[in-house]
Amino acid sequence: MASKYMKAILSLNSNAKCNYPVSFTTDEKTGEVTITENIDSITWLEGTTPISKEDIIAEATRLENVATQEATDKETKKASAKQKLQDLGLTVDEIKEAFGI
């Protein structure tokens, strides 16, 4: 699984080769893992043309926005389908049992 900034780099240049420091911290109470990527220290490899930090951050933000919108669209479509089935006379329980929504 590619990290947030690596996804952005590969979105901008699918042939990019690079490395940079990544650290992982685990919250002792929740067990949640936080990933910290240090894109200030990117080493570009095999002749890869460097991509600016600003461009990487902008692309990461764009990709996050696309993913958020896709998730929202999916939920909207699910709610619309559920309502259409209810309009056809199915109960909420029937819809849940038959379609899992």
Domain ranges of the chain: 4-99
Task: Tabulate helix, strand, coil % of the chain (nearest 5).
Answer: 55, 15, 30
pLDDT at 2 over 80: no
The rounded mean pLDDT for the chain is: 94
Q: What is the average pLDDT across 93-98? A: 90
pLDDT at 46 over 80: yes
Predicted structure pTM score: 0.74
Q: What is the average pLDDT across 83-95? A: 92
- Residue 28's pLDDT band, with cuts at 50, 70 and 90, is very high
pLDDT at 1 over 80: no
pLDDT at 94 over 60: yes
- Which of 40, 2, 69, 1 lies closest to 10, judged by CA? 2
pLDDT at 77 over 70: yes
Q: Which long-range contacts (CB under 8 A, 24 or more apart) does 17-25 make?
A: 17/44, 17/45, 17/46, 17/48, 18/42, 18/43, 18/44, 18/45, 18/48, 19/43, 19/45
- Which of 1, 21, 9, 18 lies closest to 58, judged by CA? 9
Maximum separation of any 2 CA atoms in the chain, in Å: 63
